[in-house]
Amino acid sequence: MADEFDDVVLPPPGSPERIKLENRMKWKLDLTILPIIVGMFILNYLDRNNIAAAKLGTLLEDLNLSSTQYSTCVSILFVSYIILQIPSNLILSSIPRPNIYLPAVMICWGVISTSVGAAKTYGAMVGLRVLIGIFEAGFYPGVIYYLSCWYTSKELAKRSAIFVLGSYLSGAFSGLISYAVLENMDGVHGRAAWRWLFIIEGVATIGFSILAMPILPSLPQNTKWLSKQERLLGVVRLLEDIQLASEPGMSRENTIDTLATLSEWQKLRMGFKDAVTDDKVIMFFCTMFCVCGTASINTVFPTIVESLGYARAETLLLTAPPWILCAITCFLNAAHSDKTGERFWHMVWGPVLSMVGFIIGISTTKIAPRYVSIMILLQNYNAWGVGFAWITSTINQPAPKRAAAIAIINIGFNIPNIFMPYLYTSGMSPHFYAGFGVCICFAFVSVLGMILIRGKLIRLNKRLERGEVVDGMDGATGYRFIY
């Protein structure tokens, strides 16, 4: 692989020519990658959570579902989703064409989501939701890993936040789309409106994934529409970011080949072992578990808004503003985090504000303060985009370890989605004492986890300052963990 770049010369790091070349390459990547992955995530969340809007239609009556059976239909998706995340990300780290893999799994879950519109029994709904989880398992951690193959640790928070913006916009669009479908398509061609909701959004997913496949770039070393100089730069700047390029004896050929595809099963197993034995991975796992414990209200958000007492149409429309506010604050927060290079404070304030929202929500049923609480419940998501950027910059080598770590931590992020829907059944409205109470506890513990991670990284940086080697990083090279 290195021979291909023998005739390519890169400007020295920090030079005006190098900065200009990097900015031009990042501009190309941003215009190509970001709109596609945001669109993919919007559709991913629509397909995963449209069952919450369908509940406001005639889903329960048509399938004769009890409240507990409905909660099972919501949560069962995350069982298969969790089980297959690590295998999927290890596979992704071993193949040279993530631009094919990610849209391919999207096509699969789109086909299955469309099929939900034909489900006639509880068993069929459960089975289809399991299959959706199987194919969605490779998407979110896969995209986070994919972004870390293109962007440096200082660039990831803003790009991750733009990606995650898709889920927030999906929350807003979901209410508006559901309003249009449920209010206008009931009985069209003899189908209930909730069935059309799954069919329309599933077909849109399939179409978008087909368009995404030829547009997404692959990896820096084999993206042919970049110039050879840009492709070499895409590889080298990531290695410089984790200080591999400055290690003694690291030749130019070895530098390029270090980021080459790691396909051997032995390397994948070693990557998994390295991830599960790294205490930083365990700390992030526990922290993101609690972050998701608070954020998992996304699967029942229309039910929470419904507790205001409005009719279905007003309820669906009122779900949009909190997600729009969340999208704005999360993007601004992540962009500022990238600009300042700080992670902890940008991550911790969201759970604190959400905690306030849950306390208000559990305390009153008056419409004005309750909707204020609903508006700020979702601010916990500010810890999401910044959190995964913090993870990828803290656990950044080698590629199989990073891929396994992202998948492991994302498992922790999704486990609460399995049991949280059972805390928001219809009989628990409007106070949702169990659900809101558990979310308050999760938010508090997540803040403690962030404090512990920050303390850990401060201690590791002190060791690096003394010239010690930490996680394969030589403190003498100037490498420091971001916190």
Give the tens place of pLDDT for each residue, 325-367. 888 888 888 888 878 888 899 999 999 999 999 999 888 888 8
**pLDDT (0 to 100) of residue 446:** 92
**pLDDT (0 to 100) of residue 455:** 92
**pLDDT (0 to 100) of residue 204:** 93
List the domain boundaries for the chain.
Answer: 13-240+251-477
Per-residue pLDDT band for 472 (boundaries 50, 70, 90) equals: low
Across the range 109-120, mean pLDDT stands at 92
Min mean pLDDT across 122-131, 186-195, 238-247, 433-442 is at: 238-247
Across the range 231-260, mean pLDDT stands at 57
**pLDDT (0 to 100) of residue 248:** 36
**pLDDT (0 to 100) of residue 330:** 83
Tell the CATH topology of 13-240+251-477.
Growth Hormone; Chain: A; (1.20.1250)
**21 has a pLDDT exceeding 60:** yes
Across the range 46-55, mean pLDDT stands at 83
Mean pLDDT of the chain: 81
**pLDDT (0 to 100) of residue 398:** 60
Cα 215 to the center of its chain, rounded Å: 21
pLDDT exceeding 90 applies to what percent of the chain? 19
**153 has a pLDDT exceeding 50:** yes
**167 has a pLDDT exceeding 80:** no
Residues 6 or more apart whose CB falls under 8 angstroms from that of 6 comprise: none
DSSP 431-483: T-HHHHHHHHHHHHHHHHHHHHHHHHHHHHHHHHHTT-EETTEEGGGT-----
**pLDDT (0 to 100) of residue 397:** 60
Q: How many CB atoms lie within 10 A of CB 215?
A: 12
Min mean pLDDT across 101-105, 250-254, 388-392, 412-416 is at: 250-254
d(CA 67, CA 414): 22
**pLDDT (0 to 100) of residue 357:** 92
Per-residue pLDDT band for 270 (boundaries 50, 70, 90) equals: low
Min mean pLDDT across 157-166, 193-202, 265-274, 425-434 is at: 265-274
**71 has a pLDDT exceeding 60:** yes
What pLDDT, in 10s, does the model give residues 290-306?
Answer: 988 888 887 788 888 88
Per-residue pLDDT band for 415 (boundaries 50, 70, 90) equals: confident
d(CA 307, CA 400): 45
d(CA 290, CA 304): 20
**pLDDT (0 to 100) of residue 245:** 39
Min mean pLDDT across 25-29, 40-44, 160-164 is at: 160-164
**474 has a pLDDT exceeding 80:** no
**223 has a pLDDT exceeding 50:** yes
Residue, of 427 and 284, whose pLDDT is higher = 284
Residue, of 482 and 372, whose pLDDT is higher = 372
Reference 327, options 139, 167, 179; nearest CA is: 167
